[in-house]
Amino acid sequence: MQFDFFEKEKRDFIPLSVVLAPQKLEEFVGQEHLVGQGKPLRVLIENGRLKSSIFFGPPGCGKTALARIIANLVNTKFQEVNAARIKPSEIKKLVDYLVNIYKSSGKPAILYLDEIHRLNRLHQEFFLPFTEEGSLILIASTTHNPFFAISNALISRSMLFEFKPLMPHDIVTILERAKFYLKDHYSVEVSQRAIEIITDMSEGDARRALNLLEMALLVVQRQGGPIINDDLIKDIMPQRVFSLTEDEHYDMISALIKSIRGSDPDAAVYWLVRLLEQGEDPLYIIRRLFIHSCEDIGLEDPDAVKVVQACKDGFEMVGRPEGDIILTFAVLYLSLAKKSNAVVRTLANAREVIRKTGNLPVPMYLRDANYKGAVRIGRGVGYIYPYGENRGVRQVYLPEEIKGMKIFKKEEPE
């Protein structure tokens, strides 16, 4: 691979992640499920058949890099725009310019719109007629789940390609290339242990890995040292940087609840700590535990909801980090408790009965009779008060049309 993309005087002011960006598919690292030999996205790119698409995935996994490789391969106009920088008033001018290229050449231009989630739904849907008629190919990228961040109409007209966090060996490959680059251009060595630590800290984000290496380069140049080693990396970033993406927020809380439901305390506490360490709001976790204590434990252990309430009160009293002990107690209690979904099944049964039978009237003897004249019009007449001499007397409390129907069933259905 050739690293001399920029003149020396310019190179020092350009981020290392840009200088070392791949220029062709053979140099692209990762996303084998998309661009490996014979994989769908690679086939579309190599055959010039790529249609409007949405690239989604975490930062630093290659979405923009691949879009720029596409720009090098296509024989048509390629325009790159960041949605955070374009004004809504400029969108129409841009699209008109690109569509005119199609009208004059017969080939649709390609617009790479980075961070499309920055545009509201109305502005996103401005592209719809042009992508549908084929006068413009839109490649949109986002770090968000497209079903949360992008117009459904635009999604339905686009191919979806999910980019995954890079694997550790992918990050190592990228850093090894950077290692040769630093040696050739700055006479600075990078130790293998430093590469391993940066890989571990990068969390699958190539941009973060290269930015950290670049920071180390600046420090080494300042100190006049010949090597970037593990001690220097630890000094620059002594601990991991954790953060939660939108998908991770929902996926990890889902993993926590499913682990509790499956009575696996090891997994449940693991996901709890992952959530806490990556910045999740503890009170959000507690709110989900309240739901779970009724949904999946419920009548098998009615004290579960009381335990969660007590833990909520305790957490709010002491805060973090000691409050993490209280949250762990709650999660362990729920994990080890007996499970029953009778509450949620009963709720579903009631809704199904109502859906089928509609708005049945309340039987006259069950209607409110606490007002003057109620008895004269039959309200409450025939109601049996179930105490005293009437103790044990059974009365029907459902409408006549569905009496005898079992909505609450404590046991699981056969």
Q: Is the pLDDT of residue 238 over 60?
A: no
Q: Considering only CA atoms, which of 55, 49, 84, 83 is closest in space to residue 67?
A: 55
* Range with the poorest average pLDDT among 106-110, 158-162, 239-243, 263-267: 239-243
Q: Is the pLDDT of residue 269 over 90?
A: yes
Q: What's the confidence (pLDDT) of residue 336?
A: 95
In one letter, which amino acid is 20?
A: L
283 versus 5: the higher-pLDDT residue is: 283
**53-56/136-142 β-pairing:** parallel
Q: Is the pLDDT of residue 157 over 80?
A: yes
Q: Considering only CA atoms, which of 54, 52, 78 is closest in space to residue 138?
A: 52
- Round to whole Å and give the CA distance between 245 and 389: 63
Residue 66: alpha-carbon gap to chain centroid: 21
Interval 34-85: pLDDT, tens: 888 888 888 888 887 888 889 998 888 999 899 888 888 877 788 888 888 8
Average pLDDT over residues 183-204: 86
Domains of the chain from N-terminus onward: 31-162 (3.40.50.300), 168-236 (1.10.8.60), 246-336 (1.20.272.10)
Q: Strand ranges (DSSP E) for 216-361?
A: 227-228
Q: CB of 271 within 8 A of CB of 255?
A: yes
Region of 103 please: left (phi>0), alpha (psi -120 to 50) or beta. alpha
Q: Is the pLDDT of residue 243 over 70?
A: no
Q: Considering only CA atoms, which of 263, 337, 248, 254 is closest in space to residue 293?
A: 337
Q: What average pLDDT does the structure give for the chain?
A: 85
Cis peptide before 321 (omega within 30 of 0): yes
Q: What's the confidence (pLDDT) of residue 6?
A: 43
289 versus 118: the higher-pLDDT residue is: 289
